[in-house]
Structure 1
Amino acid sequence: MAAPTRAACRLEGRNWFVRGFTTHDNAGGRDPKADGSYNLGFLGAFLQTQIAPNFFVPVPTGGTRPGSYAERYFGTYAAVYNQAYNANGRNADAAALTARNAANANAPLLQPGTPEFAAARDKIIHDPTPGQGARLILRSILNEGSGQYTYRNNFADVTFGAAYRQFLLGSDGSLFEDTKDGDRIKNYEYGAYAQASKTLLDDHLKLAAAGRVDRFQNFGTAFSPRASVVYSLGADKDQNFRASFSRAFRAPTQNDQYIRLDVGRAILLGNVSGGFQGYTSALGSQLATGQPVQFDSYQYSAAALKLEEVNSYEVGYRAQFAKKLYVDVDYFYNTYNNFIATQNFIGNIDGSRPTPAQVAAAAPARFQSNALPTRVIQIAANVDQRVQSQGAGITLSYAFAPELTVSGNYSYNDLITKEFKVGTQSFFNTPRHKFNFGLDGRLLERALSYNVNYRWVDAFLYESTFATGTVPVAHTLDAQVGYTLKSLHTTLQVGGTNLFDSANLQVYGAPSIGRIVYAGLLFDIK
């Protein structure tokens, strides 16, 4: 898989800079014989839907058709389970064990390490055909430029800046709603900002205000103000009280805007055109009961995406006592308007509401057939409710001597809004509690340095478009030792992260991050 390539240029002076860069995503070319990016979930699903040798299943119109490894396995499992269940006094556990052993022995799935598995894997990861291959052809481009200038005078310091970003999205239809022979999808955003700061009361009071105006191709214009105040006590200004307010906007990601990816259980679609009409996912459960359905009571609608707005309030206190004890405490409260979340519903892929006849045709396939327009659809949409979150943190550090400093910090994050409408995922993905505890210092006339840090992260719910589940509690211990040879201007470092190799998941469905040990040399060239 080719890595993205990037070119950058930066010019700067004492109070200004101009920079620009371009990034080209080469992760998956068009040559079907070359290695590239592929969807691991698709690979796992399509491996077992390959045609099994010498296996056929009957069709309703008569005759047979070739069957897959999955059909062979689960067909054998079901037949043996039913026999064993009745023969063993309706003991479900015993029947399941018997059926699993029989299916593994007589109708095995594709097994890693076999030539058949290798051939099927090679075929799938090089095939970009939706519904049968896992290949992703990614050839997107990001161009960005920005500049900033700071003007200083006796009254106030004023900073001006501007930025431009252009997206050229290309996937040949394997990820976005572009096509193989069409142009890349073009999208842009640009903005400008200004900030002024002023100190008063012999530099004990500092005021700052800022504003930013952004223009988005799909979302119009947005203005973001910010204001802050810091007041310092004492001759050395070693106690500081701060407060701030800011309004910011989060633009939907390029995936939120333009994705088109069929993952089997649902089709993921971008939502920047005319919005969607359909029915809530509860309709599928009601249809399965066989009872009459009042379609109007399950209606669903989502407008095209808007910018997410967050208003943030923060207060804090920072102090240093006797040059030894450092304290920092803060609290923030956020309110969101047009909060962006993932929503699932039943609808037509062109955005229209399905007719009862279309629903009836798609229901037997659980709205997962890519041959029908009515599907389970997953989009990003704005939540029509006020969403709130809050958090707090405290940091303490005490320097006993140059040889030993003890420090620790704790943070609390909470999504106050608990109830979202059915089918909505918040993607908050943040642990409620986490803390660090560390020791560091210098010995042997500051030639030997060390630090040890213990981290604890609470379990939390992780939501994504591909998997949702609980990330368990994580405990990790990191350490590093360095020795400086002053005469050679060289420092030898040895260290490691997660030294006890404990389970350390950060994303649900991803592998655990294990122990990493490293060594290095740092050269101080003057």
Structure 2
Amino acid sequence: MRKISTYSSLLTAMLCLLSLATFAQTRIAGKVTDEAKRDELAGISIAVKGKVAGTITDTKGRFSLTTNTPTPFTIAVSGVGFQTQEFTITGNRTDFDITLKEQVMLGQEVVVSASRVEESVLQSPVSVEKMDIRAIQSTPSATFYDALQNIKGVDMSTQSLTFRSVNVRGFGANGNTRVVQLADGMDNQAPGLNFSVGNLAGISELDLESVELLPGAASALYGPNAINGLLLLNSKSPFLYQGLSAQAKVGVMNASNRTTATTPYYDMAFRYAKAFNNKFAFKVNVSYLKANDWQATDYRDQSFANGFNLQTGTRQTNQGYDGINVYGDASANIYTSLFGNGQPGTGANGTSQILGLIATTQIPQAGNRTLPQLTGQTPQQIFNSLIPNQLISRTGYNENELVDYNVNNLKLSGALHYRLNENLELIGQVNAGTGTTVYTGADRYYIKGFYLGQYKLELKGSNFFVRAYTTQERSGDAYATGTLGQGINEAWKPSASAWFPQFFGTYAQTAFQGYAGALLTALGSGQSQAAAVAAAQSFVNSQQGVWLSTARGLADQGRLVPGTPGFQQAFDAVSTRPLPGNFAVNPPQVGARFLDKTNLYHAEFMYNFNKLIDPKLVEVIVGGNFRQYALNSGGTLFLQKEDGSEYSISEYGGYVQAQKTVADILKLTGSIRYDKNQNFKAQISPRLSAVLTLDKTHNIRASFQRGFRIPTTQSQYIDLNTPSARLIGGLPVFAQKYNFAGNPVYTLASVRAFGAALQQGTPLPQATQLLQQFQNPGYDPERVETYEVGYKGLIKNRLFIDAYYYYNRFLNFEGGSQVIQGINPVNLSNPVTALQLLSGTTRTVYSLPTNAPVQLRNAGWAISADYQLPGNFAIGGNVSSNYLVQQDKIPADFVTFFNTPKYRYNLSFGNRNIRGSNFGFNIVWRYQDSFLWETTIANTEATNRKQTIIPAYSTLDAQVTKKLPGIKSIIKVGGTNLLGNLYQQSWANPLIGSMYYVSLTFDELLN
């Protein structure tokens, strides 16, 4: 009993001591003012360093903070546009009178993305760009996301007003899976797509605190897919940014190619945040955008069929026309379709059996003799003279007939923050976005009612975090536009059983009769047999275009016309029917709608040992994550198992980093990461860097790192039929499903060579020898080794220079291969069976991801300079370049998707506050070179012949702002593309015109 009493006494004493420590509080209070104007500053942060404790100043610049942190401790006083000051606190103090200086020096930003620890942007071990609140407020772009293209090295691909993709260092895409976008630490990708849908479901501009961009590989700390870049969007804490803020932006958009050239634009946003006793805080955000979209109206002929190209082909001149923004124009080869198996009396798809007609039809006017008897030629020779070796395409529909260009975007978000104590903060957060947009991939996809929700729970301290979140994607009423066009045509008149047979049969019979008539006329005039045959052939050649047009006219009789009830009925049926539909019925019931409900689940942690290990000795962090994709598309996007379910994908990884500063001038950083995906072997990603600081403001850096990219969910499991090809994943299960072993597939290049040889008159047996079976080079995670050197320097506190050069060596680069498979196995010992590879109705084109058969290398450089002129005027500029190394060693039929201009320039000139007048302005001029855009939406011939060129363009943006302190508001008047020249940023995407807007932003704590 005595022992128990003794222990009780000790426990009571310890609890008393802990209680005394708990209640040993320190109170600080005071006021913060602007040193120059002596104005009271609202919304200034007063934070205890090393803790999550802190507060902000009220509308009169006053603050009060009580903390349990033992003295002495340090507080940091900071605000947007002001230099941070630090004070050591040794006891209670309620008479603080703090003055802050306006921060006019360049290069003073603090970043966390490069090393996952706070550090000066000058001393970052790798390239990093930052856009803070002031930069966002002063950009002339309509949104902060648009303004990203003003950063050096950034390429933007605009597919819709509400969907833009950020690309850096080449290998750009419309949906970029090589740049990871994190919104408050959450991967902002749509799980079924594996890329961020711009800022459609991101952070509202009113709630955005900063954007950080890391161009180049970042896998060592951020894991898979951060192989080309990392974009961090950081929202405002409700503890630090309180009160009401609202924004109304209205304007007009103008582009001469649109159905209505000038239309209105509306963008509204609201934010409210409140903190209670520095313990509990919340925020809510609502933003809504509504406008009429930019339109894709490129009707050039990308078929490269029948001797036509982008410059010469039209629907009137080319029967194989394939318009870039025209959908439903499926094609078939009239020669191979009518030739059948080469035997008289047969024909493909129930067509006119033209060989049989030629061989057996008796002509009464010629004494019942046949054409072979009259000409002395074989049926095959006559067939060759009558039937052109041409592609014939169906009449399609323009994009604006299949897409509603009224776009909108609603973003809702909210967060609850609770400080458990001064070391721990618990956060519950929801980000949700829904809207309408258009995305370009292997097709143009109309995304209507798309929804993306992110739900996060996070516990964080000053040196660690643990977070878990899920991303829920819902495709809404999304459909594939190209498939829709095809489906409308099939619903009216099926291609294989009706439209092509009617077209081909009409032409064949007309050509047969015309040839026979011309031959008899020539023979009747006394011409020799040879001369008569030549005359008849000349007549066929002169009339062939007319006969083809006549055949199209008959085949198109009754075609569904946009705006009619019949068209709308077919439109509704196809757009609401899930992909791929039902092809076992006649007419085929094509489906174009996606049913994607894929989810992502993610958990991760990071811990900094700076409280256990002296950071001056070495700073060590560790972290790890687990992720799972649960695929669920109802069979419309992903491969299904035998039971009808779809696959899930799990992956995990971990990393450690150590950072050491030597003699205050050399910072060394090393990190290594391990990752494992269930379908691929493990990946190791190291990074080594050194930063040498000279004279405090000159920083020379060098780094080596390895990045990697796990093939996306689509690259692994996609199973989607598009107008140009069936997209399949690269996993072995697809070769099994589509019987690549029993029915071999052939390389696209060899099939092209085979077709070209036949057109040049090469006999069929010899031409088939050009066919080559596809040998898969492999399918492993893509890796890159990046070597980079750079310099960041601040010269006389006025000139800020940032420059870098990088060199990438890709291992197992993931590109695309297209292969051809006949509906029936090709038997080269029976050459006629190879003809099915040339016609769209008798073959299947597969597009699948594969590793490059050669090692790809690319390099680039960039330099930016910003200069602070007298009177707070600022001028800046940047130039960047990206290019492939040893491009001539890349096989012609391997698609690299290196979609980037070789040179880009940006120039800016502005002033945030002219002579204290509260007026400001900013002007930005942007230029980029022309470049090749490789894409799966383009016809393979166009891509192979390197014709998919995006023209060079330049734009001029400008804005003027006026701060209205009396009503806590800022008014901005601006415009983009003021020169009015329409431009395009990627293939098959819309032309971008001009926008003019005026916005009014209210902020309760605006200084």
Do both proteins adopt the same fold according to a TM-score greater than 0.5, normalized to the shorter chain? yes
Structure 1 position 504 matched with structure 2 position 504: no
Query: Taking structure 1 as reference, are residues 18 and 77 closer, same or farther at Cα in structure 2, changes over 3 Å only?
Result: farther
The 2-side partners of 1:520 and 1:100 are apart by 58
TM-score scaled by structure 2?
A: 0.46
Query: Taking structure 1 as reference, are residues 474 and 482 closer, same or farther at Cα in structure 2, changes over 3 Å only?
Result: same
Retained in 1: the 8 A contact 2:751–2:837? no
Retained in 1: the 8 A contact 2:504–2:551? no
Structure 1 position 520 matched with structure 2 position 1000: yes
Query: Taking structure 1 as reference, are residues 522 and 461 closer, same or farther at Cα in structure 2, changes over 3 Å only?
Result: farther
Identify the match of residue 921 of structure 2 among 446, 450, 458. Answer: 450
The 2-side partners of 1:252 and 1:348 are apart by 28
Structure 1 position 211 matched with structure 2 position 683: no
1:444-481 C-alpha deviation (Å, 9 max, x unpaired): 40612221111112222222222252222232222222
1:439 deviation in Å?
0.7
Retained in 1: the 8 A contact 2:687–2:705? yes
Query: Taking structure 1 as reference, are residues 514 and 130 closer, same or farther at Cα in structure 2, changes over 3 Å only?
Result: farther
Higher relative contact order at CA 8 Å, sep ≥6: structure 1 or structure 2? 2
Structure 1 position 135 matched with structure 2 position 607: no
Q: Tell me, what secondary structure is at the counterpart of 1:42?
A: helix
Cα RMSD between the aligned structures? 3.6
Give, as a single letter, the amino acid of the residue that structure 1 aligns with 2:1003: F
Structure 1 position 269 matched with structure 2 position 728: yes
Structure 1 position 366 matched with structure 2 position 838: yes
Structure 1 position 111 matched with structure 2 position 585: no
The 2-side partners of 1:232 and 1:79 are apart by 83
Provide the residue aligned with 2:952 in structure 1. Answer: 473
Matches within 5 A, 1:139-158: 139-152=597-610, 153=614, 154-158=616-620
Retained in 2: the 8 A contact 1:456–1:476? yes
Retained in 2: the 8 A contact 1:367–1:376? no
Matches within 5 A, 1:64-213: 67-68=498-499, 107=557, 109-128=559-578, 129=581, 132-152=590-610, 153=614, 154-178=616-640, 182-201=644-663, 203-213=664-674
1:128-175 C-alpha deviation (Å, 9 max, x unpaired): 206522122211111112221212223011111112221111122211
1:92-137 C-alpha deviation (Å, 9 max, x unpaired): 9998589759956983743222222212211111222065221222
Retained in 2: the 8 A contact 1:148–1:159? yes
1:489-526 C-alpha deviation (Å, 9 max, x unpaired): 32223333323343232221111233334413041528
1:214-245 C-alpha deviation (Å, 9 max, x unpaired): 111111211100011111111xx121111110
Provide the residue aligned with 1:332 in structure 2. Answer: 806
The 1-side partners of 2:834 and 2:474 are apart by 38
Provide the residue aligned with 1:420 in structure 2. Answer: 890
Provide the residue aligned with 2:865 in structure 1. Answer: 396
Q: Tell me, what secondary structure is at the counterpart of 1:292?
A: helix
User: How many residues in Structure 1 have an aligned counterpart in Structure 2?
Assistant: 500
Query: Taking structure 1 as reference, are residues 44 and 486 closer, same or farther at Cα in structure 2, changes over 3 Å only?
Result: same
1:173-213 C-alpha deviation (Å, 9 max, x unpaired): 21111269622310021111111111112x21111111111
Retained in 1: the 8 A contact 2:919–2:961? yes
Structure 1 position 222 matched with structure 2 position 683: yes
Q: Tell me, what secondary structure is at the counterpart of 1:135?
A: coil
1:2-61 C-alpha deviation (Å, 9 max, x unpaired): 322332223221111222221222214xxxxxxx11111111223233335xxx99x9xx
Identify the match of residue 781 of structure 2 among 281, 285, 307. Answer: 307
Retained in 2: the 8 A contact 1:73–1:108? no
The 2-side partners of 1:358 and 1:173 are apart by 37
Provide the residue aligned with 2:178 in structure 1. Answer: none
| Gapped regions of structure 2 (runs ≥ 5) | 1-447, 519-534, 584-589, 759-763
Identify the match of residue 488 of structure 2 among 41, 47, 65. Answer: 47
**Which structure has the highest strand share of the two?**
1
| Gapped regions of structure 1 (runs ≥ 5) | 29-35, 60-64
Retained in 2: the 8 A contact 1:150–1:158? yes
Give, as a single letter, the amino acid of the residue that structure 2 aligns with 1:377: Y
Q: Tell me, what secondary structure is at the counterpart of 1:172?
A: coil
Give, as a single letter, the amino acid of the residue that structure 2 aligns with 1:447: N
Identify the match of residue 461 of structure 1 among 932, 945, 951. Answer: 932
Retained in 2: the 8 A contact 1:334–1:389? yes
Q: Tell me, what secondary structure is at the counterpart of 2:991?
A: coil
Percent identity of paired positions between Structure 1 and Structure 2: 30
Retained in 1: the 8 A contact 2:751–2:771? no
The 2-side partners of 1:335 and 1:317 are apart by 22
Query: Taking structure 1 as reference, are residues 76 and 279 closer, same or farther at Cα in structure 2, changes over 3 Å only?
Result: closer
Retained in 1: the 8 A contact 2:690–2:702? yes
The 2-side partners of 1:225 and 1:509 are apart by 39
1:293 deviation in Å?
5.5
Structure 1 position 9 matched with structure 2 position 439: no
More divergent stretch after superposition (71-80 vs 381-390): 71-80
Give, as a single letter, the amino acid of the residue that structure 2 aligns with 1:22: T
More divergent stretch after superposition (264-273 vs 162-171): 264-273
